[in-house]
C-alpha cells in the first residue's frame, strides 16, 4: 500500500508517542517534588545529595571565578546546612526532571532508528522486487526474440517454397503454351 494512507499508522504512532512524552514531562515536575521529599527524608540519600550539592557549589565557584578571569586556587568552604539542604533538594528535583527528559530523548532516538531501519528495509525490498521484475522481463525478451527468430526462419522457408512453386507453375504454363 502506498500513498498518504500507508503513512497513517506511522503518523498516529508518532503522535501518540509525542503526546505521551509531553504528558510524562508534565507529570515529571510533581513527581520530582515527591522524589525530592523522599530523598530529603531518607538519611543516607540526604547525606549523598548534600555532598553532591557541596561539590556543585565548589564547581560553580570555580566556573564563576574562571569566567571572571580569576586564576589560582581558592578555598571553597562547605555551605551551611540550610543552604546545602535547599541546593540538595533542588539537585534532586532537577535530576529527576533531567533523567525523565533523558529517557524520553533516548526513547525517541530508538523509535526513530527503528523507523529508519523499517524504511530502509522497505526500500531494499522494493528495489529487490524491481530487480526481479526486470530480470523476468529480460528473460521473457530473450524468449520472445528466440520465437521471433524461429518465425523468421519459418517465414523465409515458406517464402522460398512459394518462389519455387511459382517458378514451377510458370514453367508448366509456358510448356503448355508451346504445344
CB atoms within 10 A of CB 39: 20
- Tell me the CA distances in angstroms from 10 to 6, 14, 105, one per residue in order: 8, 6, 19
pLDDT digits 0-9 by tens, 142-163: 999 999 999 999 999 999 999 9
pTM above 0.75, yes or no: no
Who has greater pLDDT, 90 or 172?
172
- Report the 3 state secondary structure along 19-87: HHHHHHHHHHHHHHHHHHHHHHHCHHHHHHHHHHHHHHHHHHHHHHHHHCCCCCCCCCCCCCHHHHHHH
The C-alpha atoms of residue 111 and residue 17 are separated, in whole angstroms, by 9
Q: What does pLDDT average to over the chain?
A: 84
Q: pLDDT tens for residues 67-109?
A: 888 877 777 777 777 787 778 777 777 788 788 888 888 888 9
Amino acid at each position: 500500500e502506498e500513498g498518504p494512507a500507508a503513512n497513517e499508522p506511522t503518523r498516529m504512532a508518532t503522535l501518540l508517542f509525542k503526546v505521551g512524552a509531553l504528558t510524562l514531562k508534565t507529570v515529571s515536575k510533581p513527581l520530582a517534588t515527591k522524589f525530592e521529599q523522599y530523598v530529603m527524608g531518607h538519611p543516607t540519600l540526604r547525606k549523598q545529595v548534600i555532598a553532591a550539592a557541596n561539590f556543585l557549589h565548589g564547581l560553580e565557584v570555580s566556573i564563576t571565578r574562571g569566567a571572571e578571569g580569576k586564576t589560582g586556587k581558592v578555598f571553597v568552604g562547605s555551605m551551611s546546612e540550610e543552604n546545602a539542604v535547599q541546593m540538595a533538594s533542588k539537585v534532586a528535583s532537577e535530576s529527576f526532571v533531567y533523567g525523565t527528559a533523558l529517557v524520553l530523548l533516548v526513547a525517541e532516538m530508538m523509535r526513530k532508528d527503528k523507523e529508519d531501519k523499517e524504511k530502509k528495509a522497505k526500500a531494499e525490498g522494493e528495489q529487490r522486487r524491481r530487480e526481479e521484475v526486470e530480470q523476468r522481463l529480460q528473460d521473457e525478451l530473450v524468449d520472445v526474440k528466440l520465437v521471433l527468430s524461429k518465425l523468421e526462419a519459418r517465414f523465409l522457408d515458406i517464402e522460398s517454397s512459394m518462389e519455387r512453386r511459382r517458378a514451377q507453375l510458370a514453367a508448366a504454363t509456358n510448356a503448355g503454351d508451346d504445344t
